Amino acid sequence: MGEWSRSVTPLVRGFCLLYVIHKYIGTTVITYGPSMLPTLSITGNVLLVERISTRSGKLRPGDVVILRSPEAPRKVVCKRLMGMEGDQVTYVVDPKNSDRCKTVVVPKGHIWVEGDNIYNTKDSRNFGAVPYGLLEGKAFWTFLPRKDFGTLPPKPK
């Protein structure tokens, strides 16, 4: 029993360390789909995500964030943070059919997120402000594909 314990203990400690790093410090995510074009590829990107900014209040509009979908909580989505609680956000209501804009104030405890591809995204324009508790982390580095390796670019004009 003693030899078994000595061989399993480092393995258990290693898994505990990996869990703590994944849950509280950072992780990698794979994103795909059209909502963040041209910033992210439709066929997929591997992003490094840090979780410290969401807990320390260091997020700013313009950051690319990972969050639980308010419509399908098992799904994790990638969007650009456009407004924090108390901010006024102006957005195009229906970009495919008109250029009519609307301004909202982000409620307390919520954020406003939008995809970079306004013509093909489901974001706060569809489901409203998102509770801050659904935030998973801030994406800061593109790992793959190799051609996009590096920091995430700012929102395209």
Q: Is 126 helix (H, G, I), strand (E, B) or coil?
A: helix
Select the more confidently predicted residue: 99 or 137. Answer: 137
Question: Catalytic residue among 35, 41, 124, 138, which?
Answer: 35
Instruction: Name the pTM for this structure.
Output: 0.85
Is the pLDDT reported for residue 55 higher than 90? no
Query: Could you tell me which residue, 77 or 157, shows the higher pLDDT?
Result: 77
* Between residues 9 and 60, the one the model is more confident about: 60
Q: Which fold has domain 27-142?
A: Umud Fragment, subunit A (2.10.109)
With bands split at pLDDT 50, 70 and 90, how would you rate the model's confidence at 1?
low
| DSSP H/E element including 10 | helix 2-20
> For the residues of 93-114, what is the DSSP string, one character each?
S-TTT---EEEEEPPTTEEEEE
pLDDT tens digits along 70-119: 999 899 999 999 999 999 999 998 888 888 999 999 999 999 999 999 89
Contacts of 5 (CB under 8 A, 6+ apart): none
Alpha carbon 95 to its chain centroid, in Å, reads 23
Query: Would residue 79 show up in a list of annotated catalytic residues for this protein?
Result: yes
Catalytic residue (one of 5, 41, 53, 79): 79
In tens, the pLDDT along 30-46 reads 999 999 999 998 888 99
Question: Tokens at residue 42, please?
Answer: 């439709």
69 is catalytic: no
- What would the two tokens of residue 111 be? 């954020």
Q: What tokens were used for 109?
A: 């405890």
Domain boundaries, the chain: 27-142
Q: Cα(130)–Cα(72) distance, rounded to whole angstroms?
A: 13
